[in-house]
Amino acid sequence: MLYLRADTAVEVPVGPAVDVNDGFTPITTLSIAGADEAELLKFNAAGTSPITTTAISGALVAITGADGYYSLEISASELDTEGFLVLLINDDSLILPIRLEFMVVNANVYDSLFDADGVDKLQIDVVEQVGTTVPAPNTNGIPDVNVREWLDLAVTLSTGNKPDVNVDEWADVLLATTNPLPNAVAGATGGIFIAGTNAATVVTSSFTTTFTGDVTGSVASVTGAVGSVTGAVGSVTGNVDGNVSGSVGSVSGHTNQTGDSFARIGAAGVSLTNLGGMSAGMSAEVQIEANDALIANNLDHLLLSAVPISFEDTVDIDSVIGQLAQDGTGTGTGGGGFNRETDSLEAIRDNQLVAVNAALDTAISELSVAAPTATPTIRTGIMLGYMALRNRFDTQTSGTDALELYDDGGTLITKKLITDAGGDYSEAQMSSG
């Protein structure tokens, strides 16, 4: 028997449809329209007849891979009656009769049994208890509970219709007083301590008990003065603003200095003038920190360590050394960056000497035909004097008197007019030849 959800269309398997003659050969051509009878027999609680008959409205669809079995959709209107449902199909000349039984249940029952998400629950209402009608609760979903007896004794009610509860023992031990617990809200003033926040609880009496275990957790703050702590305190993490009398094993964190010790050390250690008594371990730590600081700023490469990658990666271009060594127009060989082979002091010395020697060993070309300038270059001036000493130099007395200077090929390049008036000899400024 299959359960179906009332008023909800569903597809059900129908079969097997087998040959009427041999009783086993699957029939794949069965249809509702061609059958002799295709009916739904429904339970009819309200009618004069307990069973009603309804013609099947759906169509049979053969199921692939399952010869003789069909899929049939039963509509929501055909499932409008809760109770048993019988499906029958008769075709006397084709198949043996098919009869399937179903139980149609309301949506709440079906969903509580078959809901895939498990979100629906079976609705159960308490109507009677021991033959007596249960009254409606004051709040839906919360049953009214009335306690009338406890161990065959009538329960009495105190103020506010609350049952009196008398506790005579605790963990099989007889309580020593009729009022063992304070008559106050737990966690409030005068009440017992409870887990959680007890901000309103005030303790006015002294604690005389001894804690033999550990107190774990953190205390946000203590407002007010703490008289004294007698005994050893393992460790204190955080700030101690007051005075501590006695020996302190260790202190993690900052401690404010006052009194004679503060006067001798001074604020930020300004009175410390002699560290000669520094331990070897402390001295080594200072050395390590100083060395780390030099390495962090690449200062170790000034003398001891080699430059790891390149000058540009070690010295920032905008540092003092970077601005002394680089013009900032490029990097590396051929650019504006520092190049050890050409820009170091040794390289500059060697390169300048090579350049001077090369310049001195370079031949100077003779001057061309022109009047020598009043502001010659060194090269031009030296060549003019050299040509005057080496080359042909004539004193012309026929026609215009002049001193004439020729190049190596015999071309007149420049000359000076000369005069002799009244015994005064004069040479004019050189002009073009």
Residue ranges of domains in the chain: 2-114, 287-362, 378-432
Cβ atoms 242, 225 nearer than 8 A = no
pLDDT given for residue 334 in this prediction: 45
Cβ atoms 70, 64 nearer than 8 A = no
For residue 57, pLDDT beyond 50: yes
For residue 255, pLDDT beyond 90: no
- Which of the 8 DSSP states describes residue 309? S
Query: Which residue's entry shows tokens 């590396």?
Result: 332
Cβ atoms 104, 87 nearer than 8 A = no
Among the ranges given (30-39, 44-53, 152-161, 188-197), the one the predictor scored with the smallest mean pLDDT:
188-197
CA distance 413 to 433: 4
Contacts of residue 50, Cβ cutoff 8 Å, sequence gap at least 6: 43, 44
Token reading at 161: 């219709």
* Average pLDDT over the chain, rounded to an integer: 79
What digits encode the pLDDT tens for the residues 123-136? 777 778 787 888 88
Name the residue with higher pLDDT: 56 or 139: 56
Contacts of residue 181, Cβ cutoff 8 Å, sequence gap at least 6: 192
Query: Pick from 119, 112, 121, 41: which is nearest to 83 by CA?
Result: 41
Name the residue with higher pLDDT: 247 or 90: 90
Amino acid found at 291:
N
Q: What is the 3-state secondary structure (H, E, C) of 40-52?
A: EEEECCCCCCCEE
pLDDT band at 420 (very low <50, low <70, confident <90, very high): confident
Radius of gyration of the chain (CA): 60
Q: In what order do the strands lie in the sheet with 51-55?
A: 2-5, 98-105, 83-90, 37-43, 51-55
Token reading at 288: 């390590």
Q: Percent of the chain scored above 90 by pLDDT?
A: 33
Name the residue with higher pLDDT: 45 or 409: 409
Q: Hey, is 185 helix, strand or coil? A: coil
What digits encode the pLDDT tens for the residues 58-90? 999 999 999 999 999 999 999 999 999 999 999
Q: What is the mean pLDDT of residues 205-224?
A: 63
Cβ atoms 104, 4 nearer than 8 A = yes
What digits encode the pLDDT tens for the residues 90-123? 999 999 999 999 999 999 899 888 876 766 677 7
Cβ atoms 12, 101 nearer than 8 A = no
CATH class of 2-114: mainly beta
**19 CB burial (10 A radius; 0-12, 13-18, 19+):** middle
